[in-house]
Amino acid sequence: MADEGDSEGGVTDSPKKGPTLSTSTSSFEALDPHDPNLSRLATTMFQKTADYLFGELTATQEDYRLLESMNRVTITKYSDMKQIAGNVARTMIDLNEKYKSLQPYLEQIDQIEDSVTKLEQAAYKLDAYSKRLEARLKSLEKR
């Protein structure tokens, strides 16, 4: 009965190892001759698998090289930006110092502007007053 189940499932007895699935695919005992076509296909499969794995590893290696290159460029960019920011900060400090040194002069200019505005208003009042006086003088002369 065991032989009936074995023949239906494709299981055969190997003379050295006992039951196997197929003598053409699993009888690779060291001393048994094997199918050269099967050996060629296995070699091709292993070579293609090796090529695939080599490609995967090469692609990963190239990704890391790209990341490394991008990191170098980013470091350079940030270094340039740091230098520019430092220059801007120094320039701002210089401008603030110049503004502080000019502050008294700016206050004087503001005071002069206020004085000029007041003087202008006084001049307008004086002009209006002189026009009224002139009109009064002309009215007195006509009498």
pLDDT digits (tens, 9 = 90+) for 125-142: 999 999 999 999 988 888
Determine the Cα–Cα distance for residues 35 and 129; give it in Å rounded to an integer: 130
Note the pLDDT tens digit of each residue in 40-84.
999 999 999 999 999 999 999 999 999 999 999 999 999 999 999
Evaluate if residue 34 carries a pLDDT over 80. Answer: no
Evaluate if residue 32 carries a pLDDT over 90. Answer: no
User: Do 63 and 56 form a contact (C-beta atoms < 8 A)?
Assistant: no
What 3-state DSSP class applies to 18?
strand
Determine the Cα–Cα distance for residues 66 and 46; give it in Å rounded to an integer: 30
Computed over its alpha carbons, how large is the radius of gyration of the chain? 52
Instruction: Give this prediction's pTM.
Output: 0.47
User: Do 133 and 141 form a contact (C-beta atoms < 8 A)?
Assistant: no
What average pLDDT does range 17-34 have in this prediction? 54
Evaluate if residue 5 carries a pLDDT over 50. Answer: no
pLDDT of residue 123: 96
User: Do 23 and 12 form a contact (C-beta atoms < 8 A)?
Assistant: yes
